Structure 1
Amino acid sequence: MLQGFESATTERLLLRPFRDSDAEAVFALHGNPETARFNPSGPLRTLDSAKELLALWLSDWAKHGVGYWAVERREAPGVVVGLCGVRHKLFEGRTVLNLAYRLAPETQGSGYATEVARVAVEKARRHLPDVPLVAIIHPENTASLRVAERLGLKFERITDYEGTPSRLYVAE
């Protein structure tokens, strides 16, 4: 793992790399139609597809030393309530750090997304300053757009992402 990305804490949350044992948590989060409402590919349909997604994320950690974290509440460690972090992604012919944050419906509106995404952006700027950081957001996902703006990311343009016009935000 890249020094500085192993794990993190905020006032209310614990952030740690995903583990093999997190497949059911990934499925609960990504299989939920509400949390996947703005995902161009829709919700995951099977636990096996969650295991494939988890394997991709684990390979990010193995290859790059950085990836998405499982998000847990400090008062309830071991219960994954979301994901956040950055992962290397090939986007429009260049390698970028894709910022993602997705939280369980019962936590939405709590400010968790801003809290954890701020940590991810700060760590990316500190440890990987030469890799552009982006957030690709569905234009109707107003909560996610507000998080990107709170973090100081700047709207650059509309881009086609997996067949869906999306707003591209960049860190300066």
Structure 2
Amino acid sequence: MSTLTVQQMLNSERLIMRAPQASDLQAYQAYCASPRSSFVGGPFDTAKAFEKFTAMAGHWIVRGFGRYVMLKDGIAIGHVGPLCMDESVAPEFTWTLWDGAYEGQGYATEAASTVWQHLTNDCQWKEMVIRIVPDNTKSCRIAERLGAILTDEAAPVWYPDSVTYRLYAGAA
């Protein structure tokens, strides 16, 4: 995995994706406090949301890449991108819309596709994993649209109810 050319800002047809900024914290905390965060272990209180957000922002400093905040018309609506907590395994590819008002309009798919194309085409990344709770059927469909393959790998301890998809360069 190459980190030298990962851009901190990407554009798609309708979205801007950029590294997290302090101004995104309030929207992220609202998401964490909502039932929308249940697929990732939430809801979370304000302190835990702050901790998770600062980890997202700090990932860019420690790893040189990270999850982007999706902006629609200047409004932070979610995040998308790679997460690497353990460098001995393939990074995880994640996405989340923070507000249900933005669901069903293709934003998560558009953002995920844009970021994945950047990582594989511009940065020469070869593989990522995607972990999703099977009840999150919308995210499962996005993974499949990206070309990810459902595996029979055991769920990690920290996300015990999840299934694992593998995403390879050149998929889809």
Q: TM-score, normalised by structure 1?
A: 0.86
Of 118, 122, 126, the residue aligned with 1:123 is: 118
Aligned to 2:70: 71
Displacement of 1:158 in angstroms is: 4.7
Q: Does 1:42 align with 2:56?
A: no
Residue type at the aligned position of 1:26: Y
RMSD: 1.9
Residue type at the aligned position of 2:136: N
Displacement of 1:118 in angstroms is: 0.6
Displacement of 1:21 in angstroms is: 2.9
Checking the alignment, whether the CA contact within 8 Å between 1:7 and 1:17 is kept in structure 2 is yes
Of 105, 121, 124, the residue aligned with 2:100 is: 105
Residue type at the aligned position of 1:137: I
Displacement of 1:8 in angstroms is: 0.7
Of 62, 80, 84, the residue aligned with 1:88 is: 84
Displacement of 1:89 in angstroms is: 2.5
Residue type at the aligned position of 1:25: A
Q: Deviations over 1:33-77 (max 9, x none)?
A: 1x21312x221111x22221121112210022211111111xx21
3-state SS, counterpart of residue 145 of structure 1: helix
Checking the alignment, whether the CA contact within 8 Å between 1:158 and 1:166 is kept in structure 2 is no
Identity of aligned residues (%): 26
Point out where structure 2 has 5 or more consecutive residues left out of the alignment.
Answer: none
Q: Which structure shows the bigger proportion of residues in strand conformation?
A: 1
Of 141, 144, 149, the residue aligned with 2:136 is: 141
Checking the alignment, whether the CA contact within 8 Å between 2:132 and 2:164 is kept in structure 1 is yes
3-state SS, counterpart of residue 71 of structure 1: strand
Point out where structure 1 has 5 or more consecutive residues left out of the alignment.
Answer: none
Q: Which structure shows the bigger proportion of residues in helix conformation?
A: 2
Displacement of 1:112 in angstroms is: 0.8
Count residues in correspondence.
163
Checking the alignment, whether the CA contact within 8 Å between 1:2 and 1:64 is kept in structure 2 is no
Residue type at the aligned position of 2:37: A
Aligned to 2:25: 23
Q: Deviations over 1:104-162 (max 9, x none)?
A: 200111111110011121122231525x3010000111100000000001111252232
Q: 1:10 to 1:25 in 2, by over 3 A?
A: same
Q: Does 1:170 align with 2:153?
A: no
Checking the alignment, whether the CA contact within 8 Å between 1:13 and 1:72 is kept in structure 2 is yes
- Distance in 1 (alpha carbons) for counterparts of 2:142 and 2:110: 9
- Distance in 2 (alpha carbons) for counterparts of 1:141 and 1:26: 19
